[in-house]
Each structure stands twice: as structure tokens, then as C-alpha cells.
Amino acid sequence: MHWGVHAYPSRYDFVSLVNRIFDTEDLAALGSDGAPSETSPRPYSDQSTSYHQMFYRAFPKLLESAYRELVRDIAPAIIGTDRLCYQAVPTLRIHMLGHVAVSEFHRDKDYNHQVGEVNFWLPLTPAWDTNTVWVESVPGRGDYRPVNLSPGQVYVFDGVNLRHGNKPNTTGATRVSFDFRCLPLDQYVDHGLRSVNAGRRMAIGDYFAVL
């Protein structure tokens, strides 16, 4: 298992693809023009903006094949096996100015995720300081540090057990990222539980797909 920062090949140009979906040239400026539904002061709405709707609507046609290829390309070497399942549709995050993107510091196991899942966190904009995710170094230690990354990099971490979360973004730049989980098939269990956000069954054929 290789935790930490990895680079992925530049042919996976998710920045351009998502720029196209949002009809923008600068994802880091997203929301600064007061786009509809992004001006809401309620931070808890950050996971269901109109950009999320655009992203998930466009995913099957514009992103899915590149996404699946990326996972096939990088996950087996990082995890140490190609007998994997992975999150069929990655989760989009948009961390706008003054917002928190995800509402509280948490471990993914508090949200129906299972032991053995490996978190992949992939920014589409520069991610640093208060616009990035903060992760503790050891379960329970609470020594949160920012994950400073650039597009083209992916951060692999134990989000099931390590607490992580966001701070109000005061960097002046919006962070856009997506994240997904991979799980060795020999650790996969169908608990009959559902994902908290999308309400999908945490099972192969719904939340997970076999690599």
C-alpha cells in the first residue's frame, strides 16, 4: 500500500473536461460571479449546487471512460492488487470562498464506509491552506494538516480511519476536486448500507463497480 501523493499521466485531462461541463475557463474562479444557488450563505448546501447537477448529468457521456481508465491505470500499483472494486461515480467537491464544502470533520467509517476502502483525492484546481482538505496523521491524534496539491496529483489516504474535513475557504480561490474509494475485493462486504449523500447502496453494481 502506497499512501501519500502520486502523480498521474497528463493524458487524463480532467481539468479541461470539467471546464467544458461548467462552461468556464477557470475552475478556481467558480462562484465568484455569483452564479445561481452558489450565493447561499448555508454551507451545508455545498454538496448539491447546480454545478454538482451539471457534473453528474454529464458524467456518463464526458467523464466516465477517462475516469475508469485512470482508476485502472493507477489504483492496482498503489494498492498492490488488481482485484479491486472502485466507486462507480466519483464525488464532486466545490469549496467556494467562505464555504466549507463538507460540513464537519469526520472519518468515512462514520458514514457507512467499510474497512479496507482507500481514499483517492484529486484536485482540479490548486489546493492549499484553507481551500483544501485537512487530514490528521494518526487516528485520533487531531493534528490536522492541509493537503497541498496541484492538478495532476492525487492524494491517497486512509479516510475510513483518519479524521478529515475542511475549513472556511479564505484563500481567495475556489477549490474543485473529486474523490473516490477503491476496495480490495477480498475485503468487500455488502452490509446493506447506503451512502449518506447520494443514497446509493454500498454494493457492487451500485456505489461500487468491479475494476
Q: Give the span between the Cα atoms of 139 and 182, in whole angstroms.
A: 20
> Footprint of Fe ion on residues 29-48 (CB under 5 A)?
none
For Fe ion (CB under 5 A), the number of binding residues is 2
Q: Closer to Fe ion at the Cβ: 31 or 159?
A: 159
> Binding segment for Fe ion among 47-55, 56-64, 131-139, 157-165 (CB under 5 A)?
157-165
Shortest reach from residue 119's CB to Fe ion, in Å? 7
The string of DSSP codes covering 76-94 is HHHHT-S-EEEESSPEEEE
Shortest reach from residue 118's CB to Fe ion, in Å? 13
> Binding segment for Fe ion among 35-43, 48-56, 158-166, 186-194 (CB under 5 A)?
158-166
Q: Give the span between the Cα atoms of 34 and 94, in whole angstroms.
A: 14
Q: Give the span between the Cα atoms of 17 and 151, in whole angstroms.
A: 13
Shortest reach from residue 90's CB to Fe ion, in Å? 13
Q: Closer to Fe ion at the Cβ: 9 or 140?
A: 140
Q: Report which residue's Cβ sits closest to Fe ion.
A: 108
Q: Give the span between the Cα atoms of 45 and 129, in whole angstroms.
A: 22
Beta-carbon contacts of residue 46 (< 8 Å; ≥ 6 apart): 93, 94, 95, 96, 99, 100, 101, 102, 103
Q: Give the span between the Cα atoms of 8 and 210, in whole angstroms.
A: 21
Using CB under 5 A as the binding rule, whether residue 136 contacts Fe ion is answered as: no
Give residue for cell 475516469: 67
Are 127 and 147 within 8 A, CB to CB? yes
> Binding segment for Fe ion among 42-50, 104-112, 123-131, 189-197 (CB under 5 A)?
104-112
Q: Closer to Fe ion at the Cβ: 22 or 46?
A: 46
> Binding segment for Fe ion among 40-48, 123-131, 151-159, 185-193 (CB under 5 A)?
151-159
Q: Give the span between the Cα atoms of 141 and 139, in whole angstroms.
A: 6
Choose, by CB under 5 A, the member of 38, 46, 108, 117 that binds Fe ion: 108
Residues that bind Fe ion (CB under 5 A): 108, 159
